[in-house]
Structure 1
C-alpha cells in the first residue's frame, strides 16, 4: 500500500497549469514541522512537493494561499529528471486525492493584512528561498 498523510503549511501559492488534453494540475510545496531528535527538542522542517489533478487541482488553486495550514492525503510518486548540470536525479512527489483546509477563515493570510492575526510561514521555517520548490 502506498499512502501518505501530511499536515503542514504551504511554502508558496499554488501553481496551476493544464496538460495538452486540458486536465488541470496544481503544484505547491508543503512544509511539515516536527520536533527534532536532539535533546534540545529543536523543530525540524521537511519539505514535500504536492501535486493535485483535475477538480482537486482547481480547488487547491482557488482556495489555498502561502502560509495556510492544510491536511493532504495521497500517494508517493517517484520521477526521474536530469538537472541543469546533466546529473540524473530522482524527485519524490505527493500526488494527493484529498485536501482539507485547517487554517480558520478569520486567520487566512492576505497580502494586504498587517494585523497581528496574520500568519507568516517564514517566521517558523526560515528563508523560503533556500528550498528547492
Structure 2
C-alpha cells in the first residue's frame, strides 16, 4: 500500500468539476519544509501537491486559499512540458481523507 500524508496550506480556492458523472474538487496544497545547509543556514523548500477529492462537492466552500489542511491519499506523479517547453513533474494526490485544521 502506498499512502501520502500532507499538512499544508491550500494554494487557491477549490474548483468543482465533473468527470464521468462524478464530482471532483481540485485544489493544490503547499508544504513548507525548513532545513539547514552545510553552512548551517536555514533553507526553506516548498512542495506543491495537486489534490483531487471525489464526490465531496459540499466541502467546496471550506477549501479556500490559505486554509490549513491535512490530506491523505494515493500519490502519483505526472510529467509534462510547460509553456516554456521544459519538462516538469507534478505530484498528484487522490485524496481519501481530509481534515480542516
Superposition TM-score, scaled by structure 2 size: 0.81
Any unmatched runs of 5+ in structure 1?
Answer: 103-133
Q: Please state whether the residue corresponding to 2:42 is helix, strand or coil.
A: coil
Cα distance between partner residues in 1 of 2:34 and 2:48: 14
Aligned residues: 99
Residue in 2 aligned with 1:8?
8
The structure that is strand-richer by fraction is: 2
Any unmatched runs of 5+ in structure 2?
Answer: none
Query: Contact 2:10 / 2:27 at 8 angstroms: preserved in 1?
Result: yes
Superposition TM-score, scaled by structure 1 size: 0.63
The structure that is helix-richer by fraction is: 1
Structure with larger Rg: 1
State the Cα distance separating 1:89 from its structure 2 match.
Answer: 6.1
Cα distance between partner residues in 2 of 1:82 and 1:40: 33
- Highest RCO, 1 vs 2 (Cα 8 Å, sep ≥ 6): 2
Over the residues paired in the alignment, what is the CA RMSD in angstroms?
A: 2.2
